[in-house]
Structure 1
Amino acid sequence: MSFPWAKQYEPVNPVMRFLDEKLPLPRLVFNAVGAGYPVPRNLNYMWNFGVLAGFCLVLQIVTGVILAMHYASNASVAFASTEHIMRDVNWGWMLRYAHANGASMFFVVIYLHIFRGFFYSSYKAPREMIWLIGVVIFLLMMATAFMGYVLPWGQMSFWGAKVITGLFGAIPVVGEPIQVWLLGGYAPDNAALNRFFSLHFLLPFVIAGAVILHIWALHIPGSSNPTGIEVKQESDTVPFHPYYTAKDGFGLGVFLLIYCGLLFFGPNLLGHPDNYIEANPLSTPAHIVPEWYFWPFYAILRAFTADFFFIPAKLMGVLAMFGAILLWFFLPWLDKGPVRSGHYRPLFRKFWYVFLVAMAILFWCGGAPAEEPYVMLSQLATAYYFLHFLVILPIVSMIERPEPLPYSITEAVLGEDKAAVLGENATPAT
């Protein structure tokens, strides 16, 4: 977004002046994340997650490229090459744990980023494109993470690949050809492992490209803020640097403390012990479960246990699982309320808390065995999940009476001080 009061880039050093004339990268950085990019002055720490997600992406790419130098994508030696990385490669154990736990922390950050978007209605105009690209990034992350989980070729890797790719077989007519095309055969083997390794290596760079588009789209309308009010005057903003670079730096420090604690003191806390057993097509694990970040959608898949008229239960589960994410594409048009921030929407806020409980239940049930009471709880939480987006959100946006909004961002920060709000010089009392 172009602000008339934004600071302009004026290079002083002759080298920087030459570079700015021939290849204006310094100007691009200055306008994107420097003092030339004004942002709302009231952003809280919920706005740190974008920077943290970018850090996680860089971390995954760097560790992934190094791991790829030592990994062999062959079904007969993939498991042994993973153990070779852990035992024989210098610092290999740390690289592998950094990559595996980095994926988990990446999803933690992204889920928090998404839930913040739900609460503050970050999908509403004029930021629809930012939201839509963000959902695409999430889908790419899910695909990348699934393929990465297959690469160690342990028991859970093999059977996870078999179960998830088998879901495509539920699609009438074209399902089985798609499944065979994905695997390169009728069961996970060399062809599937090579395909998954190639795509797992490629997709992070596709995600990086989508992130650039995401940031580009963000800079057109500017950042949202906790009040949901658009910027009206210069006093509503502060330069991104140094104010938010310092704030993001503090958030990154806290993140690294948590991440390093997980990496060095509980590296297998979020993994599954069966994946330290080499893949065996003749031995099915007692409980096949994906990584924790797939659990809510896995619970939605398993919530359908009976055929619905002529639609098989398995197909219903597959459609619901994919539909649970694809539904997010339509959020800008499902929620038509004029107010963005949940802080000023009392009825919306109550249902949002119920939605968080439903998501917590789906997370819990997705990692639990497919038995009662988990199946019933999954069904109830799944029903509420779709009701929340398709029924409750549209109705609430029509009938809700929002609380009064402040006049501006400055008023929300400084209170009802007319001189401060309007950017005027206060006159001394006589």
Structure 2
Amino acid sequence: MLTKSSTELIRRQNRALVLGALRRKNGQSHTELAVETGLASATVTAITHELVDERIIERTEAPPAGGRGRPRILFKQRRSAAYAAFVRISSDMLQYSMVDYSGTLIHRIEEKRDNAGQKIEDFAAGIRSTLFRLASKSRVSREDLKAISISSKGVVADDNTTLLWSSVLGSQQIDMRKTLASDWDAQVTLNHESLLVASALHSSLSQTEGRPIPRLAALSLGHSIGLGVVHADGYESPRARAPGFGHMIHSHGGALCRCGSYGCIEAYAGSYAILRAAFRVPSNTIPANFVPFLEIAKIAGAARKGDRLSSAAFRDAGTAIGNGLARLISLHGKMPVVFTGPGVPFFDLMRPGIDEGLSASLGVRIEGPPEISLSLDEERLVFEGHLNHTMAAIDREAIAPRAAGARIDKPGTNGRGGEET
């Protein structure tokens, strides 16, 4: 006989299955949910009744198939059931987004960053202030905001809340959870941006293929060089990681990197590295904090016109990346690689070096190079990565475990003090 605790665990798991199915495709019938989740019809009925009563999902009517008969009853997420805020930290900008429970963007704020350097106290105060402004503009209360998801390139601690090093703050470390704990009750998480990009790409491409892709890497070209890797072997959920690819050693004692080390991949492939090489600036020169991509575009234009120094700068960048990818494949096996980021328009100039760097690996020479593709819209992928990770966590950790019959807001309200529309 099942104990009370095991019965409750099964209940949570089943609720999570239904919520996950609606997250993949919002607006499904009872029958579709049963097929999608593999649950018995009676179980789906009980769970949907619970979730409707808790004001997590709602029933809507749709025209019958073929245009005849009774309307179809579909279940959809109630947009006011919960809210999440996303913060994207990049070299030149901070982007804040508020989304509702359905994943719909409600409001966005973008702020230019001061690239001359910033004290950690001022940086933290700015994030706190703008999050308050975002919530106010979105009419979302402290109680309604269930999660704050933050992304940055750099080095993220295993606790998924502490930024250990970044091009934005250097060695100044910041614990995002502690920074925001006094302002919000929401769950605060920090992820490497490339991890979110890789997760979004893996989810999208797996849906296209109709099955989980075993492995995939997303490599971001820009001011920084970031890498996200997703594994989906066996029956386990996909696992995403963001190894410190840009700060792997390409040449021992080589060019100076923004991290202070010598010979990192980024010290040859980052935008500041390309600028330094194209103008024959000594490789031990302190890297620029920020390089406008208009400058990189000018160097690319010169390379395409045959300028040897400019061409060599991009080729050397590609070689460093190719060598790094060869090591990655040696450790993890062959996998598709998707290049993203603001440096993608210059990929053709890096490609000869990337192929050369990859060919240095015996495994690549035997099995052939990885499948390589490009994705131009990195900003969209970061947003989708935030969305996938954060809303799934809200479903799993806040909604699925809730006691039966509990409500998230008062009946007849939208959770923000107004009448339900």
TM-score grouping bracket, smaller chain normalisation: under 0.3
TM (normalized to structure 1)?
A: 0.23
Greater helix proportion: 1
TM (normalized to structure 2)?
A: 0.24
Question: Relative contact order, CA 8 A, sep 6+: which one is greater?
Answer: 1
Greater strand proportion: 2
